[in-house]
Structure 1
Amino acid sequence: MEPWHFCIYEGYHVAILACLLVSTASSSAWLNHSLCLETCSCVGQTKVECSNRYLRIVPAGIPLTTENLILSRNLITNIQDGDFFPLPALAVLRLTANFISAIQPQAFDRLPKLSTLHVDENCLIDISTIPPILIINLAFNFIQRVNCHSQQTFGFAGDRESLINLSNNFIVGFLNLSLPVNIITAVSSNIRVFDIHQIQSVHLITLIDFRDNGIRTLPDLRNLTKLQKLFLSGNPIHVVQISHWPQGTTLLQIHLEKGTHINQNSSSRINHLYISGMGISHLQDIIGFMDVHFIEVIVISKSLVSSISDLPALPKLRSLTVKHSELIGVITFSPYLYPKLRVIDFRNNSIT
């Protein structure tokens, strides 16, 4: 029996050694891949770093096991069909800071795992070939019309939300956006008309960030049924046409110009309100944005508010800020009217 046991034990170690040799050889072969040695650098068996290599085209021969491909800061001008085929494991593709002006229709086809795409800081005008993936970064391009089309839905597990970043572009409208997206960011993108409430996938949107644009009118948003957060500071809003805020909206950041017309509404569940602008002269002006039973945080800045004596009872209010305004006096906050109030900030006013 002893020799028999010894043979099994010996065979077991031989098998392990053989596996290690094969694994080492495979890893060595991957790291000695011509692309890794001559053009790019490879980290492990899944990441290929090709940044700052003065590349004019996507290099050929990218290892099949690549999951993270970085081609940032090169001289690439076009993405051709088949440039990334076959890369069945590719999940993250970074093309930041090139000179890309065109992406061919099938450039991202047959990339079943692709979930994150960065094509920011390029020269894109047409983005109709952008695929429906989880994270899309298109900031700092020359995009005017958001014409991404797709009837597909995301096939990713878990509760991650899909995002498209269109900040620092020249956008004139979103009506042709049909990608199934949850978060839309377009900061400083020259937006004049708020039409996001009319897009095909409006029922999926949970967050909109349109800070620092030229929006003057805020239309009724009742069909944004899942909207939770809306950022609009830095827009010269003069008219608020909303009669019913989406019931799921809990955070609003907005700037109102002097003379702004607001439809009064007491049914919203906004609990964090950040409001600025000369359109606010009395605290009663902000009641149109909230139901007093839900509000927890109020931040008012750069306003004409001079008194807080008209502040209504707010049973859930935790924090009140009035800064860079015209406030000249304060009041005693009754614990019966504001039982949860813990933070008061009246900096940069004219209180004597």
Structure 2
Amino acid sequence: MRLLLLIALLLPLTAAVGGKNYQRVDVMEIARNYDIMVADQDYDDDSDDDDNDSDDNNVHHYDDSCPPGCHCTPRVVQCSDQGLIGVPGKLPSDSLMIDLQNNDITEIKEDDFKGLEKLYGLFLINNRISKIHPRAFKNMNNLRLLYLSYNALTQIPADLPPNLVELRFHENRINRIQRDAFKGLRKLHVLELGANPLANSGMELGAFNGLSTLYVGMSENKLTAVPKDLPSSITELNLEYNKIFKIEVEDLIRYKNLQRLSLSFNQIRFVENGSLAKIPNIREIHLDNNALKKVPAGLSSLRYLQVIFLHANKISSVGINDFCPLRFGEKKNLYNGISLFANPVKYWDVHPGTFRCVGGRRGVQLGNFRK
């Protein structure tokens, strides 16, 4: 979990390259936390105990084995921004991190990563990859991070490394996920599928079999409803910028562990009574920039809910019991964020007791409604 939080903090500002935006990963910054990788990988670094190898010798060794045009330091190979049309040959066999971001690679062949059995992170962001050989990741059992965002893939590659922790396919051309597409990925924590032309009908029943993922990102897809077959283990689900128009009880019944749900920028007009009660552990809900006409029912029963964003909807009135339970002490966590601005609700008509379970004066944002 420490590693996942670290990587999230290391994603820098979006850069524009080749007419499209992509998030460059600072591979060297991740590599500086090598002690975390060694602990997770149970990798025994024999060179630390070898008195005959100096730092100068190590640098010289990597200069000799480094592919032309690339920059290499011990166990980190950086070949980004080189205009490569294929994966360089003769990559150092003890590499832990390989950076191939922002090139023109179109295909991953069977032997491109042959012999790299210690590889921990592989970054292929912003290439033109449309084809990956089914055996391209054979014997890469130590691979934890695989970033394939901003490419031209139309389906999930076969036989993905079994110990992946983070897998990213943001902005490809994936419109179908076949049954058992992620089979065997029992350690996966992060699955990013955003910005693909993926509709509900494109996900076969059992597509997510075997996953115990914590985060699933499916923003900017073509979803018209909340997917009902995602891993039941998820604690965070991002469905922003889709075309979902209602939330029904059956949509959330599978996701009892959910703590953060983001449905911003959809077309939601209706939340069925009892729907939110199916996610009792929820801490944060984003329903802003939709078409709701009233505060969703059931918020007051969510004992751990701390943040609810409802701004930029069509809510015209707020009831005294919409957010807080009737009995004092029933709510375990006080709200620290309720947003209602950019709605046609008149804040002077809202009863002061409506926000009795909010901690602090700045916990509520009402504002004036202006067309």
TM-score tier, shorter chain, comes to 0.7 to 0.9
Q: Which residue of 2 aligns with 1:231?
A: 262
Asked if 1:298 corresponds to 2:349, the answer is: no
What runs of 5+ residues in structure 1 fail to find an aligned partner?
1-17, 155-160, 319-339
Aligned equivalents of 1:240, 1:62: Cα separation in 2: 53
- Compute the displacement of 1:41 (Å): 1.7
- Kindly report the root-mean-square deviation, in angstroms, between the aligned alpha carbons of the 2 structures: 2.7
Aligned equivalents of 1:229, 1:54: Cα separation in 2: 39
Aligned equivalents of 1:313, 1:286: Cα separation in 2: 6
Q: Is the 8 A contact 1:70 1:93 kept in 2?
A: yes
Q: Which residue of 2 aligns with 1:251?
A: 284
Letter in 1 for 2:342: K
Q: Is the 8 A contact 1:77 1:102 kept in 2?
A: yes
Aligned equivalents of 1:79, 1:112: Cα separation in 2: 18
What SS is found at the alignment partner of 1:32? Answer: helix
Q: Is the 8 A contact 1:128 1:149 kept in 2?
A: no
Asked if 1:137 corresponds to 2:168, the answer is: yes
Q: Which residue of 2 aligns with 1:105?
A: 134
Give TM-score scaled by structure 2 length. 0.72
Letter in 1 for 2:213: V
Q: Is the 8 A contact 1:56 1:75 kept in 2?
A: yes
Q: Match for 2:226 among 165, 172, 194?
A: 194
Letter in 1 for 2:262: F
Q: Which residue of 1 aligns with 2:61?
A: 29
Aligned equivalents of 1:171, 1:81: Cα separation in 2: 27
Letter in 2 for 1:275: L
Q: Is the 8 A contact 1:278 1:303 kept in 2?
A: yes
Q: Count how many residue pairs are aligned between Structure 1 and Structure 2.
A: 299
Asked if 1:268 corresponds to 2:298, the answer is: no
What SS is found at the alignment partner of 1:301? Answer: coil
Letter in 2 for 1:186: M
Asked if 1:84 corresponds to 2:119, the answer is: no
Q: Match for 1:284 among 304, 307, 319?
A: 319
Q: Which residue of 2 aligns with 1:329?
A: none
- Compute the displacement of 1:144 (Å): 1.3
- Compute the displacement of 1:313 (Å): 4.6
Deviation per residue, 1:302-348 (Å, 9 max, x gap): 21111343354544302xxxxxxxxxxxxxxxxxxxxx435554545
Aligned equivalents of 1:209, 1:286: Cα separation in 2: 28
Give the greater-gyration-radius structure (CA): 1
Determine what percentage of the aligned residue pairs are the same residue. Answer: 21
Aligned equivalents of 1:223, 1:291: Cα separation in 2: 25
Aligned equivalents of 2:363, 2:294: Cα separation in 1: 29
Q: Is the 8 A contact 1:237 1:260 kept in 2?
A: no
Aligned equivalents of 1:76, 1:47: Cα separation in 2: 19
Give TM-score scaled by structure 1 length. 0.76
What SS is found at the alignment partner of 1:234? Answer: coil
Letter in 1 for 2:339: V
Deviation per residue, 1:227-255 (Å, 9 max, x gap): 00001110101222351231110110104
- Compute the displacement of 1:79 (Å): 1.2
- Compute the displacement of 1:216 (Å): 0.9
